[in-house]
């Protein structure tokens, strides 16, 4: 039987008490395979850092498309491993870029903070 990761959005927006990484969700995604969980977390931490470095590059006219695409990729990856607060921050940044909103800098800052929080938690787990 083929196993796929669910990228579904959580039923509710993550609140202040939401875990940085929902380990129950991650365990469901991996069917309890601890080695796979560790590998996914390692890969995600690296991917998130690489995407954040690209997003933090100086903004130039016309680069919104690739920035939104990177945020979209990060959003999906975050949700797949249970990093729902990071997924929400990536979605907010993606929307701000696509809609050319004035609060883009604040959304970028929240995204950077969410990435760092997730990476800290992952480092503790590994």
Domain ranges of the chain: 23-57+64-125
Can you tell me the mean pLDDT for 38-47? 96
Mean pLDDT of the chain: 87
What pTM did the predictor assign?
0.81
Q: List the one residue out of 30, 31, 48 whose CA is nearest residue 87.
A: 48
CB 71 within 8 A of CB 94: yes
The span from the CA of 27 to the CA of 63, in Å, is 37
Share of the chain above pLDDT 70, in %: 87
Return the pLDDT at 15. Answer: 58
CATH match of 23-57+64-125 with 1.20.1180: no
Amino acid 110: pLDDT: 95
Predicted local confidence at residue 79, as pLDDT: 95
User: Tens digits of per-residue pLDDT, 56-91?
Assistant: 888 888 888 899 999 999 999 999 999 999 999 999
């Amino acid at each position: 039987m083929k196993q796929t990761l669910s990228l579904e959005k959580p039923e509710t927006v993550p609140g202040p008490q939401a875990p940085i990484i929902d380990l129950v969700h991650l365990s469901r995604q991996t069917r309890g395979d601890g080695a796979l969980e560790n590998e996914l977390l390692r890969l995600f931490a690296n991917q998130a850092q690489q995407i954040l470095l690209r997003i933090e590059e100086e903004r130039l006219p016309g680069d919104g498309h690739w920035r939104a695409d990177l945020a979209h990729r990060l959003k999906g990856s975050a949700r797949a491993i249970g990093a729902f607060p990071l997924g929400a921050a990536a979605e907010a940044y993606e929307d701000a870029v696509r809609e050319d909103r004035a609060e883009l800098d604040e959304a970028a800052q929240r995204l950077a903070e969410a990435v760092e929080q997730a990476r800290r938690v992952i480092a503790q787990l590994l």
